[in-house]
Structure 1
């Protein structure tokens, strides 16, 4: 079971990396603004927590 979880996490990060390569300029700007407010270094949020990431991943995961 642990191996399946690790593989799922790796696949998720691979999708995040792919999403970063297809983001529009507007999406990139929105991410930067979100990060300024939420990614403060306290560990509560990271870039991968951006709520608008899911629609981008859906767009590339046909």
Structure 2
């Protein structure tokens, strides 16, 4: 069970890395603005939590 969860997390990170290479300028700006509000060093959020990843991943998965 632990192994499956780790594999799923690794797969998600791999998709995010690929998504980051195809981001539009608008998406890059949106990520930067989201990070300013949410990634504040308290450990609650990280860049990988950005909700904008899903539409990019969906776009490149087709």
Give the aligned partner of residue 11 of structure 2: 11
Gaps in structure 1 of 5+ consecutive residues? none
Q: Displacement, 1:7? A: 1.1
Equivalent-residue separation in structure 1 for 2:25 and 2:6 (angstroms): 32
Give the aligned partner of residue 24 of structure 1: 24
Normalising by structure 1, what TM-score? 0.92
Give the aligned partner of residue 45 of structure 2: 45
Q: Displacement, 1:5? A: 1.6
For the aligned residue pairs, the C-alpha RMSD in angstroms reads 0.8
- The DSSP-based 3-state class of the residue aligned with 1:22 is coil
Equivalent-residue separation in structure 1 for 2:13 and 2:55 (angstroms): 15
Q: 1:10-44, CA deviations, whole angstroms, 9 ceiling, x for partnerless residues? A: 10000000000000011001100110111000001
Normalising by structure 2, what TM-score? 0.92
Gaps in structure 2 of 5+ consecutive residues? none
